[in-house]
Amino acid sequence: KRFFDKAMGANGDPDKVAMDKSGANKAAIDAINAGRDVPILVLQVKYLNNIVEQDHRAIKRVTRPMLNFKSFRSAGSVLAGIELMHMIRKGQFAIDGADAMSFADQFSVLAGIVRPV
């Protein structure tokens, strides 16, 4: 319940909440709905978290060998690049002329890197 109170304080009250079949989350939303005129709609899907975990698997696979970074700054830069490449592969960025560009060229355009031709 504390998580939902904090999230709603920062982002406002939602109309609906999608969650997995977690009993604790459902109980917290029910407790919040008890004091509301218009209840928050709860969308429960048993395997909702699987999509997130499947997407996150590739990032975990790539980052595991890099656990020995010397600074948070360098680790953050590398992780941002890995995440950018992952999002390009999934087609989450729209770049003019992306169909004719390789993933590496799209990455260079988005990251602002000038690559030799």
pTM (predicted TM-score): 0.40
Mean pLDDT for 3-18 is 86
Residues 83, 110 contacting (CB under 8 angstroms) = no
Residues 43, 19 contacting (CB under 8 angstroms) = yes
From the CB of residue 29, how many other CB atoms can be counted at a distance below 10 Å? Answer: 20
Decide if pLDDT at 106 tops 60.
yes
**Domain ranges (residues) in the chain:** 2-46, 51-111
**What ranges make up the beta strands (E) of 1-117?**
16-19, 41-44
Tokens of 91: 């087609």
Tokens of 107: 């990455």
pLDDT for res 3: 85
pLDDT tens per residue across span 19-54: 877 778 888 888 988 988 888 888 887 776 676 677
Tokens of 1: 């319940």
Residues 44, 28 contacting (CB under 8 angstroms) = no
